[in-house]
Structure 1
Amino acid sequence: MLIAISFIIVAAIIYGLLYLKSRKVAFSKRVVLALVLGIILGLILNQFFSASERMLFSDWVGILGGIYVKLLQMIAMPLVFVCVVLAFTKVEIKTNVAKLGATIVGTLIGFAGFAGIIGIITGYFANIDGSGFTISKTALSTANELRDSYVAGGENALSLPQKIIAIFPSNPFYDLTGQRPSATLGVVIFALFLGVAFLKIKDRKPEAAGFFKQMMDSIYEIIMSVVRLFLSFAPYAVFTIMTTTVVNNDFSAVWKLAKFFVACYVAMAIVFAIQILIIALCGISPARYIKRAFSVLSFAFITASSAGSMAMNLEMQEDLNIPKGISSLSASFATSMGMCGCAGLYPGIIIAIVAQTQGINPLSPQFLLYAGFIIAMTSFGIAGTGGGGSVATIISLSALGLPVGLVGVFIAIEPLVDMGRTVVNLNGGVVASAVTCKVSGIDLSEKNSESIATENN
């Protein structure tokens, strides 16, 4: 009887969330409300359910959350491929593309690995006991499928040079199925070669290049429409995932999730401060940058979309005297690779938590540096959409030979973490632009900016 009543309550809450959507209530507010309602309902049912009832409830209510995770996995690989190719087809600069591109990509990837190390250190000192979480059968099934998809038997025994070689695809179409442990990186490498090939024929064969660009633009719009459709299910998925997590774990699990949330934002604050320092060393004063970037960063935080913030980002970089060719290249790349929030510090924090459940000291130099390298390589192909952090974490954990089950637990609060991650993602693109300008000898100081404005007038 109690199980039946609980199902009715769940259905009523989901109906209420649908009603709020029909009333045009903001997406972020509905996600927060779903999170809170999930915690409250989970805590209440935890007090009344027996162990068998908890499992039965979790298996049925967890269907929606499990499907949501599956949908994100389904679209991840094609989205990564298209976004990386589009980073090349949207490039407007015509000279020194190789040099500028190498500097931008190197900065994005390198800083993502550095942010991952900061995440690991933060996750270690957060002192979150990952072994204390109880994972429902549905979540465990999803975790096992993820493990089977991303970790092949024997690959973890390869040496580091062999693992680097294994990253390169022998059959990119097979990698698009996601069946190989390094499938995502293989798809990214294939897309990079296509992008470079596009740039080579862009001027020699404009008709062919134009057709290819138009085709990729169309595919991107269709895939993004699918992504937006999937993300619209987030409030209901968050509610069911949080409810099933709490009903199986009681208040201590909620406290651990709260500690994880705080740890994420502490790591983001550290990374953000370092980003501002690098930008300052490149000639842009912190006060000037914050003044110019505040509205863009605020928009990125509210929308939790790196791609959606790109237009404002480009305008802001132009105000900072960053050449359009450099800013367009870095902003494009930053929405699909080297995302220091989604693919850097977030996986790092979870890696630290999971590693300790396996008796591994995440601060040991060998593990720390290797994990940083894996995170950097993984960051090649994480698109700027919701769920990217989970995909990056799954790949990184798999490459390190660690279990991925806890990722399903943290998905419940990922939309709230994603807002902060988007800010440092966007900031990472500005860092890449600033470093590229510094390497290219472009003066970004306020004095030079004022002199250019005077000449233009």
Structure 2
Amino acid sequence: MTTQTSASESHNDSRGDSTADATGAGDSTASGSGTNSSTQQSKSPWYTGFGSQIILGLFIGLGLGFVARAIGTQGEEDNWLGALLDGVGSAYVQLLKVMIPPLIIAAVITSVANLRKVTNAARLAISTLWWFAITAFFSVLTGIVVALVLRPGEGTSIDASAAQAPESQGSWTAFLQSIVPQNIFGLQTKLGEDSVSLSFNVLQLLVISMVIGVAAVKTGKSAEPFLNFMESFLSIVQKVLWWIIRLAPIGTAALIGTAVYSYGWDALGALGNFVIAIYVGLAIVAGVIYPVVLKANGLSVREFYRKVWPVTSLGFVTRSSMGVMPVNQRVAEDEMGVPREYASFAIPLGSATKMDGCAAVYPAVAAIFVAQFYGVDLNITHYLLIIMVSVLGSAATAGTTGATVMLTLTLSTLGLPLAGVGLLLAIEPIIDMGRTAVNVTGQSLSATVVAKRAGILDGSRWA
């Protein structure tokens, strides 16, 4: 696939920060010195690299988490360090999420307008969905094989009284209902006993933004001021996001510290085999399937994981694909070389519907666990249904996002007891960390592979 304009030029417009700033690991050159620039290059210290700072934040967070656990609780309340870690971590995730609506609106509208410069845009969109399905297919196969080999549901000492039906369930009609906007802002409300909470439905925002973008393109010359405004607005939003992203090492330390303090190893108990099965499946997806896909498409495995590390690590500690989406899109554009016109479409879409961890590995292992626990024999038809639900189900449950909802959809399709969901709630936060890390890594992988196969990837970023 070819573009009518240079992808490497267009996706770097209005950038206030260089690629070297984004990673902190690039070489800096002196300008205007009157000497050969090659003699002025100096290697930046390793600790200035963004990825290195994330790793450092992880280790600091681990240490602080263990210190907080050693201090202990103060009655029913967290100690001062635990409360501080939780407050800082929550504030960082909230900062990331608050920029998601303006980022989606500005990026998607601008993307739709700029796709005029890209030939075969429809084929690009279809290819994106195709690669979402391919990696989901092999991920769910991995989950099935791991569950059948390790058999986590047999011999477990978990108390059957822990089984309870979940409050919400997946529905095959949820996807169709979720993409129909309830209002122009994609807002959803939830009534509590004493409060009303507001949230954004990302799929609805995508639909609204795409419709506005197409309408602006069809309007023609009179819409040019609006499109120019949206492009300027996008540059401003991305600048603010970069300021927030630079706080990631601090957020990482606080979030991993909170996880260690809150969960430790106590929650594993009788479900240790299930946790091991989940992480083995996730490790195979990230360590075997993804590298095979990269190699098959002529991409360096080492370079990909070096570039995607901030995304993977933030996914692990934040447990939110949506919260990591701004970082994921920035890395896709600045580090992977994915054109902005395409990245601003593929990454938000992937964040809502591309979940190899939550919607493929997890429901496969969990469904087989529930069947083994209740002594239900599964046949080839059941396994085919697990594959079908996992490949299609992440989209079908996008309006009611969550791995638990995805699991209820799988169990109801197989005719297994929905009460089995309650058996796994105790270790939900621990396994959700690994699931989300694989989710966001797969989202970046799919966008990069599609761009490479379409011939629009900036190869200089991989030199």
Tell me what 2:430 maps to. Answer: 409
Alpha-carbon contact 1:112-1:339 (below 8 Å) kept = no
How do residues 240-259 of structure 1 correspond to structure 2 at under 5 angstroms? 240-249=258-267, 257=275
Q: Distance in 2 between matches of 1:120 and 1:392?
A: 17
Give 2:252's aligned amino acid: A
SS in 2 for 1:233: helix
Question: TM-score normalized by structure 2?
Answer: 0.59
CA distance in 2, matches of 1:78, 1:178: 19
Residue of 182, 185, 189 corresponding to 1:171: 182
Residues 293-308 of structure 1 correspond to what in structure 2 (within 5 A)? 294-295=302-303, 297-301=305-309, 304=312, 305-306=327-328, 307-308=330-331
Structure 1: gaps spanning 5 or more residues:
1-20, 135-139, 280-285, 318-326, 382-390, 447-457
**1:355 aligned counterpart, secondary structure:** helix
Match of 2:349 in 1: 337
Read off the aligned partner of 2:259 and give its amino acid letter. I
Give the distance between the partners of 1:104 and 1:380, measured in 2 at CA: 24
Q: What is the match of residue 252 of structure 2? A: 234
1:335 counterpart SS class: helix
1:351 aligns with 2:359: no
Contact 1:133 1:249 in 2 (8 A): no
Amino acid of the residue matched to residue 331 of structure 2? G
- Number of the residue aligned with 1:455: none
**Residues 194 and 204 of structure 1, relative CA distance in 2, 3 Å threshold:** same
TM-superposed deviation, 1:399: 6.1
Deviations along 1:262-281, one digit per CA (max 9) or x if unpaired, are 431211234324524653xx
Q: Describe the shift of the 1:340–1:269 C-alpha distance in structure 2 as closer, same or farther (beyond 3 A).
A: farther
Query: Shift in Å at residue 375 of structure 1?
Result: 1.9
* CA–CA separation in structure 1 for the residues paired with 2:367 and 2:81: 30
In structure 2, give the amino acid aligned to 1:265.
A
Q: 1:27 corresponds to which residue?
A: 54
User: Is structure 2 residue 146 aligned with structure 1 residue 114?
Assistant: no
Structure 2 partner of 1:312? 335
1:82 to 103, 107, 119: 103
Structure 1 CA distance, aligned partners of 2:395 and 2:132? Answer: 5
Aligned-residue RMSD, C-alpha: 5.2
1:209-230 CA distance string (max 9 Å, x none): 2123323443454456556657
Residues 258 and 358 (structure 1), Cα distance of their counterparts in 2 relative to 1, 3 Å cut: closer
Provide the residue aligned with 2:225 in structure 1. 207
Deviations 1:395-417 (A, max 9, x none): 64576677594442235557xx7
Separation in 1 of the partners of 2:231 and 2:208? 16
Corresponding letter in the other structure for 2:451: S
Deviates more, 1:77-86 or 1:162-171: 77-86
Aligned-residue offset at 1:393? 3.8
Relative to structure 1, the CA distance from residue 370 to residue 303 in structure 2 (aligned partners, 3 Å threshold; closer, same or farther) is closer
Q: Deviations over 1:73-100 (max 9, x none)?
A: 7854861662364044156856475x73
The 10-residue stretch of structure 1 (333-342 or 235-244) with the greater mean CA deviation from structure 2 = 333-342
Asked whether the equivalents of residues 169 and 187 of structure 1 are also in contact (C-alpha less than 8 Å), the reply is: no
Q: Is the 8 A contact 2:137 2:390 kept in 1?
A: yes
Report the alpha carbon displacement of residue 369 of structure 1 after superposing the two structures with TM: 0.7
Measure how far apart 1:296 and its partner are. 5.2
Shift of 1:426: 3.2
Q: Do the aligned partners of residues 36 and 349 (structure 1) sit closer, same or farther apart at CA in structure 2, a change above 3 Å counting?
A: farther
Gaps of 5+ in 2: 1-46, 191-197, 313-326, 413-417
Going by fraction, where is helix more abundant, 1 or 2? Answer: 1
Distance change in 2, residues 1:56/1:114 (3 Å) = farther
2:42 is aligned to none
Q: Which residue of 2 aligns with 1:8?
A: none
**Alignment check: 8 A CA contact 1:123 1:350 kept:** yes
Residues 354 and 247 of structure 1, relative CA distance in 2, 3 Å threshold: same
Conserved? CA contact 2:175–2:396, under 8 Å: no
Distance, in Å, in 2 between the alignment partners of 1:295 and 1:330 is 21
Q: Which amino acid aligns with 1:312?
A: E
Identity %: 11
- The Cα offsets for residues 119-172 of structure 1, whole Å up to 9 and x where unpaired, read as 3332341548489799xxxxx9xxx9xx76xx4xxx75x6x4x44431332413
Deviation for aligned residue 1:350: 2.3
Whole-angstrom CA distance in 2 between matches of 1:277 and 1:345: 21
Deviations 1:3-54 (A, max 9, x none): xxxxxxxxxxxxxxxxxx9xx9822222145347757986x89xxx9xxx89
Paired residues of 1:31 and 1:238 also in contact (CA < 8 A) = yes
Structure 1 CA distance, aligned partners of 2:204 and 2:353? 22
Q: Which amino acid aligns with 1:117?
A: F
Cα drift, residue 298 of structure 1? 1.9
Matched, 1:271 2:279: no
SS at match of 1:248: coil
Q: Which AA in structure 2 matches 1:298?
A: R
Once the two structures are TM-superposed, the CA of residue 238 in structure 1 deviates from its matched residue by: 1.6
Q: CA 1:57–1:342 in 2, change beyond 3 Å: closer, same or farther?
A: farther
TM-score, normalised to structure 1, is 0.59
Residue deviations 1:267-302 (CA, integer Å, cap 9, x gap)? 1234324524653xxxxxx3xx43xx7545422225
User: In the alignment, residue 337 of structure 1 is paired with which amino acid?
Assistant: L
Distance of 1:121 and 1:59 partners within structure 2: 44
Q: What displacement does 1:373 show?
A: 0.8
Is the contact between residue 350 and residue 393 of structure 1 (CA under 8 Å) also seen in structure 2? yes
Secondary structure at the counterpart of residue 177 of structure 1: strand
CA distance in 2, matches of 1:398, 1:224: 37
* CA distance in structure 1 between the aligned counterparts of 2:95 and 2:116, rounded to whole angstroms: 37
For 2:363 and 2:189, the matched residues in 1 are separated by 21
Distance 1:350 1:302 in 2: 23
- Could you say if the C-alpha distance between residues 54 and 122 of structure 1 is closer, same or farther in structure 2, counting changes exceeding 3 Å? farther
